[in-house]
Structure 1
């Protein structure tokens, strides 16, 4: 089997309100809006917002179907962890809070020891970790 270590990854999940989500992920965290599709009333269509960093091998896709919304049901272990390999800037945490985030204690104390957990407006958790990470041995 061929492995695809550099394959692009899409993390997709529902959102209650894409405008509010964009404030958090783009204006708060600093991700770039890579693509946006606003629902035009076509059956079986939905609105979506893709955000990420242009040089990253992943992006976050947030979706909302106005005619059949899926309500987010995150658990305390639904985490998006960003390994900063440095201290978490307090101004970044403050900006995330100003843009709809809420600093919370992690369900797993490991993340409180090694970072800061912010809950996004849909209830999902973003961990800004002070640690670094590599999949290489």
Structure 2
């Protein structure tokens, strides 16, 4: 049985780690938890982002040895449940940091704001709480 409080890592490729860092750190407010550069063949550059006390973090891989290019779809969502209104200043910062506000369809458009990151992966800032997200 897996402990429900187990930590979660979401990993995805990024074409430009500096652009991704601007979006998630300067735009969203995550922190750089770890950074590494490829040191040999078959390795890639690594950027781990999150909040120190959170039980999840985002791992972005990139660099010259990247073998999987980003291929986001409209269903590749990272949803943050804010349990309240979306701060328009936050949305503005995300856009200034390289994001693009997009429509995510009637459900998500009603319950929040969606911003695509520089690679096209979608971040949903939901006004709902996790407990009423069903």
| TM-score for the superposition, normalised by structure 1 | 0.92
Moved over 4 A (4+): none
| Equivalent-residue separation in structure 2 for 1:124 and 1:109 (angstroms) | 18
| Equivalent-residue separation in structure 2 for 1:7 and 1:134 (angstroms) | 19
**Match of residue 95, structure 1, among 81, 90, 93:** 93
Cα–Cα, structure 1 residues 99 and 39, in superposed 2: closer, same or farther, change >3 Å?
same
| Equivalent-residue separation in structure 1 for 2:2 and 2:76 (angstroms) | 26
CA offset digits 1:20-49 (Å, max 9, x no partner): 000000010000000001123x11111010
**1:36 aligned onto 2:28:** no
What displacement does 1:4 show? 1.1
What displacement does 1:63 show? 0.3
**Match of residue 125, structure 2, among 124, 128, 136:** 128
Unaligned runs of 5+ in 2: none
Cα–Cα, structure 1 residues 99 and 6, in superposed 2: closer, same or farther, change >3 Å?
same
Alignment root-mean-square deviation, CA? 1.3
**Match of residue 58, structure 1, among 56, 59, 68:** 56
| Equivalent-residue separation in structure 1 for 2:66 and 2:14 (angstroms) | 12
> How many equivalent residue pairs?
132
| Equivalent-residue separation in structure 1 for 2:31 and 2:66 (angstroms) | 27
Matches within 5 A, 1:107-126: 108-126=105-123
| Equivalent-residue separation in structure 2 for 1:69 and 1:25 (angstroms) | 22
| Matched position secondary structure for 1:96 | helix
